[in-house]
Structure 1
Amino acid sequence: MKRFPLLILLLAVLPVFAQSSLEKDEAKIKEIYDMALTNGQSYNWLGHLSNTIGGRLSGSYNAQRAVDYTKKELDSLGLDRVWLQEVMVPKWTRGFREYAYIETIPGSSMPINICALGGSVATPDGGTKAEVIEVKDLEELEKLGEAKIKGKIVFFNRPMDATKINTFSAYGGAVDQRANGAAEASKFGAVGVLVRSMNLKIDEYPHAGSMYYGDIPEEQKIPAAAISTKDAEYLSGNLKLQKDLKVYFKMNCENHPDVKSYNVIGEITGSEYPDEYIVVGGHLDSWDLGDGSHDDGAGCVQSMEVLRLFKELNYKPKRSIRVVLFMNEENGLRGGKKYAEVAKDKNENHVFALESDSGGFTPRGFTFNANENQLQKLKIWASLFKPYYLHIFKEGEGGADIGPLEGSGTVLAGLQPDSQRYFDYHHAATDTFDKVSKRELELGGASMAALIYLVDKYGL
């Protein structure tokens, strides 16, 4: 009977402790945001990556320059460890700028904007000219069959679904034609493919991205190019008037043997649980048409900023926190796979991984790949982010680079910025530094640091 007064006392005191802890967390998170917004480094880092180095396609000279630069900057932060993790990556070069036109009658042509898709073979030396057949999806392609496709250029013209407010869902619903269109069209004797750019905006900029041939023989591979949304509309309209018009296109791209590159990794060693790892990262490579500011220079510098903020604020994490700048997300995911492979070989316990690869726009929250108990704990923290207008705390994907850690017990998370403008720039020549807001970029980095602070302090 004597235990009841003690139990009543504990129940009375617990809310006080909870309130005290809440107030401390609110204060620490405000401190993180204040530091990021008044003394941030992410925008300066991104300026160098974008303006001084530029596009960073895997295996390129610029990709190596980005490795050297980010390692040097991480070294300057006074982290406990900074190192390079070797990874073999594919090397593909675009060559001279692509050229294309629509020919309605011999001698009458209209130039159109295209770009080779990553991994594509080149056209023959004299280019490729053929009649065009328009399809909306791979199913329609199969229904048409060899009789209607052989000897023609297949024009995949399925737009991203504008009714989807989540633009990444719209992208996911359209990207199969870019990834697999050439491989499927070649089975029916097509001589090339044009794919409508993955873009909700109607403009003149073609968007690059990866395509894959699968296991088809080398001699059956056909050239694949993206066509700008404006020119896709123009071509489609002309095909309605003239079924036998022709398109000419010339590409000079080339696939090369794999080359050596690196993931760039920095670590603050945990003070209490050094063998529990929290990862924050983005991918260092980018396509070559723009300078890769949103995809994914922003994610890299935001991830670097997380560790810099902790050092500046003298926060000593309980768990080991790593920043990983992954190489080769765009056309192979070799960096993410290599990191997970090494982690598995070393039997490292990765408890949490957060990726930023959705652009440097205003942060709206996070998605989590976690079990129900972990998800409920994460949702409890949502109220701490309301003052910063973050409202998304829900189940969802983490990110491509951290995806290979799935199945090891790691909770995977993704920063979710406002996505409405992202695909205006994604993989295009318009993905440049001037499209990034300093404040929006810094808000994203602060949001990531705040979440990592909570995961580190309380665990999952």
Structure 2
Amino acid sequence: MKSFYTVLILLFIGLGTSAQTNSTEDSLNIRKIYDMSLLNGKSYTWLDHLSNEIGGRLSGSYGAEQAVEYTKAELEKLGLDKVWLQPVMVPKWTRGGREFAYVQTGPGQTRNVNITALGGSVATPAGGTKAEVIEVQGIEQLKEYGKENIEGKIVFYNRPMRADLIQTFEAYSGCVDQRYSGAKEAAKYGAVGVIVRSMNLRLDDLPHTGSMSYGDMPVKDRIPAAAISTNDAEYLSGILKIQKDLELYFKMNCEQHEDVQSYNVIGEITGTETPEEIMVVGGHLDSWDLGDGSHDDGAGVVQSMEVLRLFKEIGYKPKKTLRVVLFMNEENGLRGGNKYAEVAKSKSENHVFALESDAGGFTPRGFGFTSNDEQYEKILSWKSLFEPYLIHYFHRGGGGADISPLKGGNTVLAGLRPDSQRYFDHHHAANDTFEHVNKRELELGAATMTSLVYLVDKYGLESTAKDSLNGTD
């Protein structure tokens, strides 16, 4: 019996020593990743070219085409095992000449206001649209006013993002339905146009665009839709309290064209042990046309590319196959994400993990995960490795729009979570530009993503004591 206990004690000592050795090795490798990203990173240089040499990359545009060519060429320079383009048909919408709008409070008494067409909107008539305005706090209020009060007017959606919500994406989700479905719903009540308060937590003069949809509404019944800056939304709301019969004029020249062919850009490092198991990192290559798309989502694109480059630089050869996917058409259609998942399904590919960066290039705080309980517990066992880098926010629920079609089975979806407090200052606006991205913050995000992928590759996401970092789950 005594010898049995001796063997048992030695076994536990061995397990503890093994776990400690693994933890030390992982700490050193993660340190190498951060050092390489911060001292010899490429993400900021890549973003500089995407933003300043190419600029806005709306699906179907020349800028989007240039971005495909550039990122493919840069991935080929990394010496990956495979780089290819995946064809995908995407919508093509053009803004046309600059939008113009003013509020008229009396004969000859006007004030210009800042607006921008929502992506996918129809144009106003050639002479513009002019009508009285009715303010509502959301789609649900349309029913309260009824057709008799809305017909022939411009509906002004003025529900703001909630400033008391610390999670700014939650605040965004709470009012973005006005932008996406507001025109479709207002048209049912006879409105002649809609103006939507910009999805922005601060007061400024920048209107923020974004996608909208008419559903299956016939083209002849569609009405023009624009976003108005938060400062001008405040002005319009205030003046309406004094003068209900004021009129708003706006003119837009946008146009929807036939779909055109574009591409997802994909690069791959083939796994050395289980190549049939695929890990994906990615961001979306397209952007809106008002700025140059540096935060949304140039940052995610270059961070995802950097994950593969960092592995090559530190000499780490992944056990599983690692792919970077630069998705096209997230902003106004999600065609790229859907196409990638469709092709993966047709080939019966086994995606075990997908990580997306689409929340800006700000300081990384952690990750959100969509997984089962056992997988999440295993992920939490790695959290202490990130704490020296001030990465502490691990929570359930996460991923991203482009990787969401991969959801199912045991695939774990993850999303990088940067500090979000400034993100909506720039989101879909003319100030989403390179000068607002901090080099160090961008590089920290790339290193954080790479470190997570390293751990997923090394230990897998199966909940077994043998593979767990600390020897238990």
Does 1:69 pair with 2:88?
no
What is the SS of the residue equivalent to 1:280? strand
Give the corresponding residue for 1:226: 227
Q: Give the C-alpha shift of residue 139 in structure 1.
A: 1.1
Counterpart-to-counterpart distance in 1, 2:335 and 2:107: 46
Deviations 1:266-310 (A, max 9, x none): 000000000000000000000000000000000000000000000
- After superposition, the CA RMSD in angstroms is 0.7
Deviating more after overlay: 404-413 vs 315-324 = 404-413
The amino acid that maps onto 1:65 is Q
Shift of 1:394: 1.2
Q: Which position in structure 2 is the counterpart of 1:160? A: 161
Distance 1:22 1:217 in 2: 61
Whether contact under 8 Å (2:367, 2:398) holds in the other structure is: no
- Per the TM alignment, residue 335 of structure 1 is displaced from its structure 2 partner at its CA by 0.3
Question: What are the within-5 Å matches in structure 2 for residues 167-246 of structure 1?
Answer: 167-246=168-247
CA distance in 2, matches of 1:217, 1:181: 16
Q: Which residue of 2 aligns with 1:122?
A: 123
What residue is the counterpart of 1:277 in the other structure?
278
* Residue of structure 1 in register with 2:342 after alignment: 341
How far residue 216 of structure 1 moved from its aligned partner, in angstroms, is: 1.3
Matches of 1:364 and 1:273 in 2, distance apart? 31
Q: Which amino acid aligns with 2:212?
A: M
Question: Aligned partners of 1:49 and 1:252: how far apart in 2?
Answer: 27
What residue is the counterpart of 1:401 in the other structure?
A: 402
5 Å matches for 1:364-383?
A: 364-383=365-384
- Aligned-partner Cα distance in 2 for 1:145–1:181: 15
Range with bigger deviation, 168-177 or 101-110: 101-110
In the alignment, structure 1 residue 107 sits paired with structure 2 residue 76? no
Shift of 1:8: 2.7
Equivalent pair of 1:379/1:394 in contact (CA under 8 Å): no
In structure 2, distance between residues paired with 1:433 and 1:288: 14
SS in 2 for 1:270: coil
Report if aligned partners of 2:117, 2:209 keep a CA contact under 8 Å in 1: yes
Give, as a single letter, the amino acid of the residue that structure 1 aligns with 2:150: I
Distance 1:77 1:142 in 2: 57
Amino acid at match of 2:50: L
**Corresponding letter in the other structure for 2:365:** R
Equivalence for 1:310: 311
Q: Any conservation in 2 of the 1:303–1:356 contact (CA below 8 Å)? A: yes
Q: What do the CA deviations read for 1:408-460 (whole angstroms, capped 9, x no partner)?
A: 42100000000000000000000000000000000000000000000000000
Contact 2:55 2:293 in 1 (8 A): yes
Q: Give secondary structure in 2 for the equivalent of 1:90.
A: strand
* Mean CA deviation greater in 122-131 or 1-10: 1-10
Residue of structure 2 in register with 1:430 after alignment: 431
How many angstroms apart in 2 are the aligned matches of 1:139 and 1:301? 40
CA distance in 1, matches of 2:277, 2:229: 46
What CA distance in whole angstroms lies between the structure 2 residues aligned with 1:129 and 1:408? 52
Whole-Å Cα distance in 1 between the matches of residues 437 and 290 of structure 2? 17
- Residue 353 of structure 1 is matched in structure 2 by 354
Over residues 131-159 of structure 1, what are the superposed CA-to-partner deviations in whole Å (9 max), with x where a residue is unaligned?
00000011111111100000000000000
Structure 2 letter corresponding to 1:409: N
Q: How many Å apart are 1:5 and its aligned residue? A: 3.6
Q: Within 2, Cα distance between the matches of 1:388 and 1:396?
A: 22
Q: How much does 1:4 deviate?
A: 4.6
State whether residues 136 and 157 of structure 1, in contact with CA within 8 Å, keep that contact through their aligned partners in structure 2.
yes
What is the letter of the counterpart of residue 261 of structure 1?
Answer: S
Provide the rounded CA distance (Å) in 1 between the counterparts of 2:83 and 2:378.
Answer: 32
Count of equivalent residues: 460
Contact 2:94/2:254 (8 A) holds in 1? yes
User: Corresponding residue for 2:422?
Assistant: 421
Which position in structure 1 is the counterpart of 2:86?
85
Report the counterpart of residue 454 of structure 1 in structure 2. 455
- Aligned amino acid, residue 341 of structure 1: E
* CA shift for structure 1 position 3: 5.0
Residue 385 of structure 1 corresponds to which residue in structure 2? 386
Distance 1:388 1:174 in 2: 34
* Structure 1 residue runs of 4 or more that deviate by more than 4 Å after TM superposition: 1-4
In structure 2, give the amino acid aligned to 1:88.
M
Partner-residue secondary structure (3-state), 1:202 = coil
Deviations 1:325-379 (A, max 9, x none): 0000000000000000001000000000000000000000001000000000001
Q: Distance in 1 between matches of 2:81 and 2:433?
A: 33
Q: Which residue of 2 aligns with 1:264?
A: 265
Query: What is the distance in 2 between the residues matched to 1:185 and 1:258?
Result: 27
Note the residue ranges of structure 2 that are not aligned, 5 or more in a row.
Answer: 462-473
Q: Which amino acid in structure 2 is aligned with residue 97 of structure 1?
A: R
Structure 1, residues 106-141: CA drift from partner, whole Å, max 9, x if none?
221100000000000000000000000000011111
> What is the letter of the counterpart of residue 429 of structure 2?
A
Q: Deviations over 1:181-208 (max 9, x none)?
A: 0000000000000000000010000000
Q: Output the CA distance in 1 between the equivalents of 2:366 and 2:332.
A: 27
The whole-number CA distance in structure 2 between the counterparts of 1:123 and 1:409 is 48
Contact 2:368 2:416 in 1 (8 A): yes
Could you give the per-residue CA deviations for residues 67-118 of structure 1, whole angstroms, max 9, x where no partner exists?
Answer: 0000000000000000000000000000000000000012211000000000
CA distance in 1, matches of 2:438, 2:77: 25
Contact 1:60–1:91 (CA<8 Å) still a contact in 2?
Answer: yes
What amino acid sits opposite 2:407 in the alignment? E
Q: What is the rounded CA distance, in whole Å, between the counterparts of 2:314 and 2:442 in structure 1?
A: 19
